[in-house]
Amino acid sequence: MSEILIEGRNLTKEFTAGRKKKVHAVTDVSLQILQGETLGLVGESGCGKSTLGRLLIRLLKPDSGRLLVHGEDVTDLSDKEFGKYRRQLQLIFQDPYASLDPRLCVRDLIAEPLKTWHVCRTKEELTQRVLEKMEEVGVPGEYLYRYPHQFSGGQRQRIGIARALAAQPELIVCDEPVSALDVPVQNQILNLLNQLQESKGLTYLFISHDLSVVRHISDRVCVMFLGTICEIGKTQEVFQNPMHPYTRFLMNAILPPDPHRRNDQAELLSGEIPSAVNPPSGCRFHTRCPYADERCRREMPALQDAGDGHQAACHHTMN
Amino acid sequence: MSGKTLEIRHLNTSFFTQKGEVGAAKDICLEVRPGQIVGIVGESGCGKSVTARSVMGLVKYPGRVVSGEILLNGTRITGISKKEACSLRGSEVSMIFQEPMTSLNPVIKVGRQVEEVLLIHKKITKKEAKKEAAKILEAVGISDVASRMECYPHQLSGGLRQRVMIAMAMICSPSLLIADEPTTALDVTVEAQILRLMKKLCEAGTSILLISHNLGVIAQVCDYVYVMYAGRIVEQGETFTLFDHPAHPYTRGLLGAAKSLRSDAGLLKTIPGVVPNLLHLPAGCSFSPRCDSCMDLCRSEMPDMLPAGEKGHLTRCWRS
Ligand SMILES: Nc1ncnc2c1ncn2[C@@H]1O[C@H](COP(=O)(O)OP(=O)(O)O)[C@@H](O)[C@H]1O
Ligand SMILES: Nc1ncnc2c1ncn2[C@@H]1O[C@H](COP(=O)(O)OP(=O)(O)O)[C@@H](O)[C@H]1O
Ligand code: SF4
Ligand SMILES: [Mg+2]
Ligand SMILES: [Mg+2]
């Protein structure tokens, strides 16, 4: 059993949207990230993946609930006290373009976090370290003085990864890092992330709405719906034996690149995602669930273990 | 009906930029037959949207159609007056886009927007338009229509907005619907719903030109597929033939990449190198610098579309 790197206990986060309206972004979520694993986080847009990702590395503070890093409760630490963990918990985004200052060249972009986290005595030493990072992520050293707009989307994502690596983190939250890329480029980035994990013993929280990507990269998967966890477990288990109705519907919607496997007959989810401002009572999935009954409308189901850490939150758990 | 709903002959569309002429769509020959869903697939920037926009007369400055012919149901819409072309398009073809928000008016209720299209195109009263609008919105799978019609576009989910766009596109019963990445911005469960709706529309008599970068989407619904690379069609064929026996090394690369993600392979397949800049294309075959089957001839001469086995299966590759 691996050590627990990050643990969220009963995390809840609401945002105010307009007068008196509250968005229930994450509701009472408990989750552990194990040292060295890739935990995939899937769900449709707006279900709270990014919010949960940020809560778990304390880029956002929860309204209630606790956050533990290496077993230490860091929820109430001051930013200064939390400082020793800040470097270890990094984030990369879908659109690195938005996070890369267009006025800085690659050298300065990667030097920035290096300067923040490490002592480099001389300029030469700093440039040397930048070149090392570029090599690690597969950006040729001759591009040292190029600017973000001179790179393709895939290369910009590599630069984003290099910046995260510069802090020598333990955990990287990868928030939809390949969602804007074409498949061949997406695959290059996924291969790179896998290879970096192996060579550096990194831990990932990998957020994506694409089940096939999550299936490939994750050791464990966590499925979210409207601010809550529906199902979590080892990737193989969850994909071969989904227990929550929502997980099944997500899988029915997968479109294989093969005309012999058209999903014409698969039962599709009807209706729309309910509003996070007025989430349904009881189980948040009950308005779309074909199995919903009185109890589902009344009582929010808790995660229940079916063995080997495979858990689902449903009053009518499948099989 | 026999004949062709859409026929594009040797279309060339370029952007005239300060750095030079960018040939975004080159020598495009493409057909959509009645009752077909025809797909165009390729990575971003390969010219899919420009091809579609050329048909609609929507290419934006500094771009323009340089040469070629476009026929709708046998009638030429190139080389005639703009006004004539517009009215021909208006009754024969509609287009929907990736982000429906950009084509909906944000400050008008969606019900009124649908009614207005009806009032423009049909001789009916306002009251009839309202009834008709409700019927059309219901037909594209919107539930609770009465209250949805009172919503502003931003109050609807992406999936509902796309359904509204499809409803508006279908009002004049066009013989052709061009759908440019219609599900790319949508959640997966909604994507599958919209694709089923497109299949239904096609069965009801509308031919569809479906543009997508996603081979999964193409495999699901298309009868016939064109693959584009760097502004050109590089392979075309019936969907089953093309997926079972991809003939162009680029198609094989794309398909291999998509399939390896679904296999248990540890290392995912990719295509070496990057998509070329359209201003600095390599000599010969545009794919040659990335191709694992490249020969000397490939680096000097651009191949034509050549037969690749099955009838109707063509590929732009010297090795075929
Ligand atoms: N800063 C914010 N202010 C208000 N609402 C927010 C904010 N961030 C996220 N939300 C809302 O919280 C919900 C969850 O958002 P998010 O975590 O971004 O979901 P996901 O990443 O799964 O798409 C959404 O309804 C979103 O609109
Ligand atoms: N406004 C423009 N100015 C210059 N070039 C453009 C413009 N719009 C598109 N292009 C060129 O046309 C090519 C094809 O674009 P597009 O049809 O939108 O690609 P796709 O839809 O396949 O992603 C692009 O790679 C780009 O080089
Ligand atoms: S708890 Fe009830 S409503 Fe929720 S998913 Fe299970 S059966 Fe459906
Ligand atoms: Mg997000
Ligand atoms: Mg496009």
Residue B181 in this model has a pLDDT that exceeds 90: yes
Q: Report if residue B97 sits inside a domain.
A: no
pLDDT band with cut points at 50, 70 and 90 for residue B53: very high
Record: contact B192-A255, CB cut-off 8 A: yes
pLDDT at position A272, please?
76
Q: Report domain extents, chain A.
A: 4-88+169-312
**DSSP state, residue A316:** T
B291 or A96, higher pLDDT: B291
Record: contact A272-B160, CB cut-off 8 A: yes
Q: Does the CB atom of residue A126 touch ligand 1 within 6 A? A: no
- Same domain for B18 and B153, yes or no, is no
- Same domain for B85 and B158, yes or no, is no
For the residues B186-193, what does the mean pLDDT come to? 89
What's at A12, amino acid-wise? Answer: T
- Measured CA to CA, the distance from residue A120 to residue A131 in angstroms comes to 14
- Same domain for B69 and B136, yes or no, is no
Record: contact B270-A187, CB cut-off 8 A: yes
Q: Compare CB distances from A183 to B220, B239, B258 and report the shortest one's residue.
A: B258
Q: Does the CB atom of residue A223 touch ligand 3 within 6 A? A: no
Question: Residue B254: phi, psi to the nearest 5?
Answer: -60, -45
pLDDT at position A317, please?
80
Q: What is the pLDDT of residues A249-279, one digit of tens each?
A: 999 999 999 999 998 888 888 877 888 898 9
pLDDT band with cut points at 50, 70 and 90 for residue A1: low
Looking at this predicted complex, what is its ipTM? 0.92
- Same domain for B65 and B107, yes or no, is no
3-state helix, strand, coil in chain A (%, to 5): 35, 20, 40
Q: Report if residue B34 sits inside a domain.
A: yes
Average the pLDDT over each of A209-213, B1-5, B170-174, B291-295 and give the range with the smallest value.
B1-5
Which two tokens mark B293?
């089957």
Minimum Cα–Cα distance from A275: chain B residue: B157
- A-chain CB neighbours of B253 within 8 Å are 184
Residue B90 in this model has a pLDDT that exceeds 90: no
B320 CB neighbour count, 10 Å cutoff = 17
Q: Report if residue B1 sits inside a domain.
A: no
Q: Report if residue B60 sits inside a domain.
A: yes
For the residues A38-59, what does the mean pLDDT come to? 96
Beta bridge partners of B232: B229
Angle between helices B110-121 and B158-170 (to 10 degrees): 10
Record: contact B193-A268, CB cut-off 8 A: yes
- B-chain CB neighbours of A184 within 8 Å are 43, 253-254, 257, 269-271
For the residues B97-126, what does the mean pLDDT come to? 90
- Same domain for B166 and B284, yes or no, is no
Average pLDDT across chain B, whole number? 93
A92 CB neighbour count, 10 Å cutoff = 22
- Which residue, judged by its Cα, is nearest atom 6 of ligand 2? B15
**DSSP state, residue A238:** H
Residue A319 in this model has a pLDDT that exceeds 70: no
Which two tokens mark A231?
């199902």
Question: Residue B237: phi, psi to the nearest 5?
Answer: 175, 170
- Same domain for B188 and B301, yes or no, is yes
pLDDT band with cut points at 50, 70 and 90 for residue A289: very high
Owning domain of residue B244: 6-92+174-315
pLDDT at position B171, please?
87
pLDDT at position B157, please?
86
Q: What is the pLDDT of residues A143-183, one digit of tens each?
A: 999 999 999 899 999 999 999 999 999 999 999 999 989 99
Closest CA of chain B from A59, distance in Å: 26
Q: Give the position, in ligand 2's atom list, of the atom nearest the Cα of B48.
A: 22
- Same domain for B85 and B72, yes or no, is yes
Q: Which of B145, B188, B228, B259 to mutate to test the interface with A (most CBs of A within 10 A)?
A: B188
Per DSSP, the residues of chain B read --S-SEEEEEEEEEEEETTEEEEEEEEEEEEE-TT-EEEEE-STTSSHHHHHHHHHT-PPTTEEEEEEEEEETTEE-SSS-HHHHHHHHHHHEEEE-S-GGGGS-TTS-HHHHHHHHHHHHS---HHHHHHHHHHHHHHTT-SSHHHHHTS-GGGS-HHHHHHHHHHHHHTT--SEEEEESTTTTS-HHHHHHHHHHHHHHHHTT-EEEEEES-HHHHHHH-SEEEEEETTEEEEEEEHHHHHHS--SHHHHHHHHHHHHHHS--SSPP--SS-PPPTTSPPSSSTTGGG-TT--HHHHH-----EE-SSTT-EE--TT-
Residue A236 in this model has a pLDDT that exceeds 70: yes
pLDDT at position B101, please?
78
pLDDT band with cut points at 50, 70 and 90 for residue A318: low
Record: contact B43-A254, CB cut-off 8 A: no
Angle between helices A183-200 and A153-166 (to 10 degrees): 20
Q: Report if residue B270 sits inside a domain.
A: yes
pLDDT at position B186, please?
87
Record: contact B219-A209, CB cut-off 8 A: no
- Same domain for B159 and B295, yes or no, is no
Q: Which ligand is nearest to the CA of B157?
A: 1
pLDDT band with cut points at 50, 70 and 90 for residue A303: very high
B32 CB neighbour count, 10 Å cutoff = 26
Q: Compare CB distances from B188 to A250, A259, A271 and report the shortest one's residue.
A: A250
Which two tokens mark A212?
């096939």
**DSSP state, residue A6:** E
Average pLDDT across chain A, whole number? 94
Residue A119 in this model has a pLDDT that exceeds 80: no
**DSSP state, residue A186:** H
B143 touches chain A (CB under 8 A): yes
Q: What predicted TM-score, i.e. pTM, was given to this entire model? A: 0.94
Q: Does the CB atom of residue A315 touch ligand 3 within 6 A? A: yes
Report percent pLDDT > 70 for chain B.
Answer: 99
- Same domain for B278 and B223, yes or no, is yes
Residue A6 in this model has a pLDDT that exceeds 90: yes
CATH of the domain at B202: 3.40.50.300
**Final residue of a structural domain among B173, B189, B204:** B173
pLDDT band with cut points at 50, 70 and 90 for residue B2: low
- A-chain CB neighbours of B195 within 8 Å are 255
- Measured CA to CA, the distance from residue A243 to residue A231 in angstroms comes to 7
Q: Report if residue B320 sits inside a domain.
A: no
The number of folded domains in chain B is 2
- Same domain for B180 and B267, yes or no, is yes
What's the B159 CA to ligand 4 centre distance in angstroms?
18
- Same domain for B234 and B297, yes or no, is yes
Note the CATH architecture for domain A4-88+169-312.
3-Layer(aba) Sandwich (3.40)
**Final residue of a structural domain among B139, B173, B207:** B173
- Same domain for B189 and B235, yes or no, is yes
pLDDT at position B89, please?
84
